[in-house]
Homo-oligomer: A and B are copies of this chain.
Amino acid sequence: MSQFRQNPITKHWVLIAPNRAKRPEQFNTSAVMSKGLAEVVPACIFCPGNESKNVEIARFPQGKNWQIRIIENKFEALSHVPLSRRADELYVNRSGDGEHEVIITRKHNEPVALQSTETVKATLQVFKQRIIDLSKRSDIAYIQIFHNHGRDAGASLIHPHYQILATPIVPQTLHDEMLGCYHYYRASGSCIYCDIIKEEIAQKERVIINGENFLVIAPYASRSPFESWILPKKHLSRFEDIGAEQIQELAYILKVVLGQLYLKLSDPPLNFYLHTMPPARSKHLAYEEQSYHWHITVFPRITIWAGFEYATGIPINPMPPETAAGFLK
């Protein structure tokens, strides 16, 4: 049974998930995938023909010719367990209750970087709908959507897929970000992401793509070579409030960012993830809504975090973001 546990010193949470130990390791190399391979692999549990091997939540479009499916994660890190909390003088935990879902696209050997804009757009629409649906549940505090590509980025299956973890706590990183935004807003009266967008367009040197509705930058304090932030130019705290025109451009921009990495760095392992405002629970969140700004972080796994990173929390990045932006743009 999964359990969230809190480090009694730093108050950081960890998710103890014994069910994950049974997870299959389908491949061990750091090479990722390549074009021109089979679209369907009979042994792959995510491929067409093996639909009955998963518990399906939804498919788009309906019928045999689905392009995207949402399924339950077989080796879920979260499960449906009764709410329990323990807190004594030293140790705090709570049950690992929540949802762990997988979103899969149809073709086995087609990484997101090589998918059509239509497929990426349809996937983003599924993200939006899933956040709206899961937000209705009072037991869910945050919905984290992310993508792992390549073994060195933590992917255990080649077939392209996204994961959704709907958690009963607001994660540390989101909390840190929201707090930072809130303090900035209180001091300056504006959203820090909006101000970063203005500053980066003016400074130019870290801009990778300057689109109609989105700005892509190598962030000032990049943690790894080629880290990229995709920022909507219009202030919006929650991804699920995105409009149809913006989704269209976002699909294209995401494809270009991933495509550049795929071509210029020979298909590197990477993660990307969405940060968005947690579902509204009460009126007193209104202040934060003016200060927080959803975004996507693309995080190539080019460097390996060593003892220094884990000891100090300070990533060592050998490449200035200005160099990375110059290379990618």
Interface centre among A91, A223, A312, A317 (most CB of B within 10 A): A312
Partner of A304, one of B4, B6, B154, B299: B154
Segment 254-282 of A: residues with Cβ below 8 Å from B: 271-275
Closest to A199 in B: B90
Number of A residues with CB within 8 Å of any CB on chain B: 81
Q: Is the CB of A173 within 8 A of B311?
A: yes
Flag whether A165 is at the interface (Cβ < 8 A): yes
Complex Cα distance A171/B314, Å? 7
The answer for the CA separation of A171 and B10 in the assembled complex, in Å, is: 13
Interface pair B192/A10, CB less than 8 Å apart: no
**Residues 125-164 of A contacting B (Cβ, < 8 Å):** 144, 146-148, 151-155, 163
Q: By the criterion CB–CB under 8 Å, are B173 and A14 in contact?
A: no
Q: Which residues of B contact A199 (CB under 8 A)?
A: 90-91
Given A16-B320, A318-B21, A319-B18, A9-B180 contact (CB < 8 Å): yes
A24, chain B: closest CB distance, angstroms? 13
Asked if A80 is an interface residue, CB under 8 A from chain B, the answer is no
Determine how close the nearest CB of chain B comes to the CB of A59; give it in whole angstroms. Answer: 23
| A interface, CB within 8 angstroms of B | 4-21, 23, 77, 89-91, 144, 146-148, 151-155, 163, 165, 167, 171-174, 176-177, 180-181, 184, 188, 192-193, 195-196, 199, 219-223, 271-275, 297, 299, 304-321, 323
